[in-house]
């Protein structure tokens, strides 16, 4: 059925669709296809997805394999976190489908014969915002209309042995792991994408398909005409074609992320005590250049909350407003005891503001003032909690970008929570509006990774640097490079950065702890820990790479005993020397 998308606001992506499938001269159709156009907000967050699969004809399970591949993709892709990029979401879903299909083959009658297993080609097209994402394995094809013909965007994974013999070099379900081709390209209004199985494109010329699409009254009619042309040309195979024409491409601001509050006027600055939108504002918790935070009560929920409003200087800045809206949206998508949660929203808002749960406690900055020389074990525990919170961001393809002691809360029970997501980079949202991703320094410079000062995009390794600096500061009260990092804004200057060993301040620290800190804050992100779990592990387990001849094994095992024995040796030496001097003194 041809489906022209209903009229939507200009910022939405809209398409017209045509598709047709037939068994052709075969008794059964082992092709399977589907297209999903979700309503908002799913349309803005995940886009439009089309999928096409062709089960191998040598297997009775080919039809089941193609149906499983398409249905699992269209179902599971939209179940992935909104924060994930299209590429990560699709590849994970496809990999899961491949594993399931391969496992079914291994459980079957011929576990070592892929030609009789759950094997299928697979092609998927995801249109999100102004970008097309293509995923391909096998000998199906994805095309784009180019003038009077079609431009093939995928490469066939078919190995030709001779004029009469060929076989699939890659397919879903053939092996435990599968290599998926990926292509990303920009789209414009009027672009036409075509997906075909080999029963179509081996028998109809690209220019004839383009002509049929141009001549037909609707895309369904074009799809049927192309299938009939392939049959007339002698196609012996199943025949399936999908056609998507882009009718409009999003313009202007990204889709609303919080159900309408992005278009509201910023909340006014208020003087507590005051009533506002059903909240009772009790006092001001924080007032800074970017925002003001109030302690408030929600009488309906019987809970205290932290209500944040934009500062006067930023309320007319579209970029700052977008980031402000993102903060609560992010909090609702991370479920971790070490990440501050958003307060449930039960009533309509009159202005733009965010509401988070209120945590009774202190910032890590204040904690460090109160604990000038904390025990190593205490620091380990706090860093481990901080790392778990940051890892919750990384699992959802987010980079916090502003990790610093002021953005770490410790509650009365000693639980660490990461706060303030105004600088957080979200891969899935950047795809919808690349303007959100800038190379600007959004965090506090003392904790910002060196690569950011070179104009490079921040990554999870950038957050690792920030956590490493925080851990170093907790143990020493200092920064590992002093104030040199923000001033090192060339690659040459960064190569000259010199790490100040934590042992100069805490000589009793195990040498391997200093090695872990050194690696966590390495100026080169490629030589840094790539995952916080590795850093946390090395803070508890001596890494052989960080142990050397500079310190004795006893000093590493028991520093206190080492220094006691050394003191005893020195005392004996002093007493011996004194005795010798006394013996030589004339009487």
Q: Is it the case that residue 158 has pLDDT exceeding 90? A: no
What was the pLDDT predicted at 440?
Answer: 56
Mean pLDDT of 539-561: 69
Q: Is it the case that residue 425 has pLDDT exceeding 80? A: yes
Host H or E run for residue 225? helix 219-232
Reported as a pLDDT band with limits 50, 70 and 90, residue 431 is: low
Residue that has been written with the tokens 């910023």 in this structure: 266
- Among 336, 329, 384, CA closest to 354: 329
Alpha-carbon span 515 to 534, nearest angstrom: 13
Reported as a pLDDT band with limits 50, 70 and 90, residue 255 is: very low
What was the pLDDT predicted at 531?
Answer: 94
Q: Name the CA dihedral angle for 129, 132, 137, 141, rounded to a multiple of 10 degrees.
A: 130
Q: What are the strands of the beta sheet with 303-310, ordered from one edge?
A: 274-276, 279-287, 291-298, 303-310, 354-357
Say how many CA atoms lie within 13 Å of 208 toward its Cβ: 13
- How many residues does the structure list for the chain? 587
- Reduced 3-state DSSP string for 494-510: HHCCCCCCHHHCCCCCC
What was the pLDDT predicted at 112?
Answer: 60
**Candidate from 163-172, 252-261, 290-299, 496-505 with smallest mean pLDDT:** 252-261
What was the pLDDT predicted at 320?
Answer: 80
Q: Is it the case that residue 7 has pLDDT exceeding 60? A: no
Between 468 and 39, residue with greater pLDDT: 468
For residue 136, what are its two tokens? 């391909």
What was the pLDDT predicted at 2?
Answer: 37
Mean pLDDT of 67-81: 92
What was the pLDDT predicted at 65?
Answer: 94
**Candidate from 110-114, 172-176, 286-290, 549-553 with smallest mean pLDDT:** 549-553
Reported as a pLDDT band with limits 50, 70 and 90, residue 113 is: low
Domains of the chain, first to last: 3-248 (3.60.40.10), 261-357 (3.30.200.20), 362-546 (1.10.510.10)
Alpha-carbon span 396 to 421, nearest angstrom: 14
Q: Is it the case that residue 6 has pLDDT exceeding 50? A: no
Mean pLDDT of 385-409: 94
Pairing of strands 48-55, 31-36: antiparallel
Q: Is it the case that residue 244 has pLDDT exceeding 70? A: yes
Q: Is it the case that residue 56 has pLDDT exceeding 60? A: yes
Q: Is it the case that residue 254 has pLDDT exceeding 80? A: no
Reported as a pLDDT band with limits 50, 70 and 90, residue 422 is: confident
Q: Is it the case that residue 355 has pLDDT exceeding 50? A: yes
Q: Is it the case that residue 212 has pLDDT exceeding 90? A: yes
Reported as a pLDDT band with limits 50, 70 and 90, residue 329 is: confident
Q: Is it the case that residue 122 has pLDDT exceeding 50? A: yes
Pairing of strands 31-36, 408-411: unpaired
Share of the chain above pLDDT 70, in %: 87
Q: Is it the case that residue 566 has pLDDT exceeding 80? A: no
Q: Is the CB of residue 400 less than 8 Å from the CB of residue 98?
A: no
What was the pLDDT predicted at 107?
Answer: 78
Host H or E run for residue 410? strand 408-411
Task: Share the mean pLDDT of the chain.
Answer: 87
Mean pLDDT of 148-166: 82
Residue that has been written with the tokens 């920009």 in this structure: 186
For residue 582, what are its two tokens? 């006394």
Q: Is it the case that residue 8 has pLDDT exceeding 50? A: no
**Candidate from 71-75, 222-226, 577-581 with smallest mean pLDDT:** 577-581
Mean pLDDT of 357-374: 95
**Largest alpha-carbon pair distance within the chain?**
128
Q: Give pLDDT tens digits for 266-311.
A: 899 999 999 999 999 999 998 888 889 999 999 989 999 999 999 9
CA R_g for the chain = 31
Q: Is it the case that residue 136 has pLDDT exceeding 70? A: yes
Alpha-carbon span 287 to 282, nearest angstrom: 14
Asked whether the whole model's pTM tops 0.75, one would answer no
Reported as a pLDDT band with limits 50, 70 and 90, residue 392 is: very high
Share of the chain above pLDDT 90, in %: 64
Helix, strand or coil, per DSSP, at residue 385: helix
Q: Is it the case that residue 202 has pLDDT exceeding 90? A: yes
Mean pLDDT of 381-397: 95
Q: Give pLDDT tens digits for 523-535.
A: 999 999 999 999 9
């Amino acid at each position: 059925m041809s489906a022209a998308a209903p009229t939507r606001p200009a910022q939405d992506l809209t398409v017209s669709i045509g598709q047709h499938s037939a068994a052709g001269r075969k008794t059964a159709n082992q092709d399977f296809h589907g297209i999903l156009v979700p309503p908002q907000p799913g349309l803005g967050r995940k886009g439009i997805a089309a999928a096409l699969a062709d089960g191998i004809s040598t297997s009775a399970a080919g039809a089941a394999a193609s149906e499983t591949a398409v249905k699992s993709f269209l179902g599971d892709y939209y179940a992935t976190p909104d924060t994930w990029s299209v590429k990560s979401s699709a590849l994970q879903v496809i990999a899961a489908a491949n594993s399931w299909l391969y496992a079914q083959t291994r459980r079957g009658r011929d576990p070592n014969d892929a030609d009789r297993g759950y094997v299928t080609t697979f092609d998927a097209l995801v249109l999100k915002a102004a970008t097309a994402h293509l995923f391909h394995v096998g000998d199906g094809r994805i095309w784009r209309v180019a003038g009077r013909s079609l431009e093939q965007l995928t490469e066939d994974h078919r190995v030709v042995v001779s004029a009469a013999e060929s076989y699939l070099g890659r397919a879903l379900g053939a092996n435990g792991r599968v290599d998926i081709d990926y292509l990303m390209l920009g789209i414009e209004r009027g672009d036409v994408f075509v997906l075909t199985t080999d029963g179509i494109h081996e028998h109809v010329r690209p220019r004839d398909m383009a002509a049929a699409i141009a001549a037909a009254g609707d895309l369904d009619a074009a799809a049927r005409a192309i299938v009939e042309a392939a049959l007339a040309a002698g196609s012996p195979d199943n025949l399936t074609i999908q056609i998507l024409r882009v009718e409009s491409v999003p313009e202007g601001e990204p889709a609303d992320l919080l159900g309408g509050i992005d278009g509201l006027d910023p909340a006014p600055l208020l003087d507590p005590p005051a009533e506002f939108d059903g909240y009772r504002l009790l006092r001001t918790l924080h007032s800074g250049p970017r925002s003001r935070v109030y302690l408030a009560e929600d009488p309906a929920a019987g809970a205290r909350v932290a209500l944040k409003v934009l500062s006067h200087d930023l309320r007319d800045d579209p970029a700052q407003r977008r980031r402000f809206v993102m903060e609560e949206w992010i909090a609702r998508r991370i479920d971790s005891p070490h990440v501050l949660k958003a307060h449930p929203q039960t009533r309509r808002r009159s202005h733009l503001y965010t509401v988070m749960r209120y945590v009774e406690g202190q910032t890590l900055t204040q904690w460090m003032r109160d604990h000038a020389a904390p025990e190593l074990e205490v620091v380990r525990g706090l860093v481990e909690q901080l790392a778990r919170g940051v890892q919750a961001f990384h699992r959802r393809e987010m980079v916090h970008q502003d990790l610093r002691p002021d953005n770490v809360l410790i509650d009365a029970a000693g639980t660490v929570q990461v706060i303030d997501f105004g600088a957080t980079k979200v891969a899935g949202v950047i795809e919808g509006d690349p303007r959100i991703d800038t190379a600007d320094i959004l965090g506090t410079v003392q904790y910002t990774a060196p690569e950011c000062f070179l104009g490079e995009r921040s990554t999870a390794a950038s957050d690792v640097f920030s956590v490493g600096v925080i851990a170093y500061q907790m143990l020493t009260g200092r920064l590992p490079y002093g104030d040199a990092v923000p001033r090192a804004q060339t690659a040459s200057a960064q190569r000259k950065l010199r790490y100040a060993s934590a042992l100069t301040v805490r000589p009793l620290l195990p040498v391997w702890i200093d090695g872990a800190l050194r690696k966590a804050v390495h100026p080169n992100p490629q030589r840094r820990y790539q995952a916080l779990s590795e850093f946390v592990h090395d803070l508890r387990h001596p890494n052989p790479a960080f142990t050397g001849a500079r310190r004795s094994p006893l000093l590493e095992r028991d520093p206190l005993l080492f220094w006691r024995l050394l003191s005893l040796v020195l005392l004996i030496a002093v007493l011996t020397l004194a005795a010798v001097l006394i013996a030589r003194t004339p009487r």
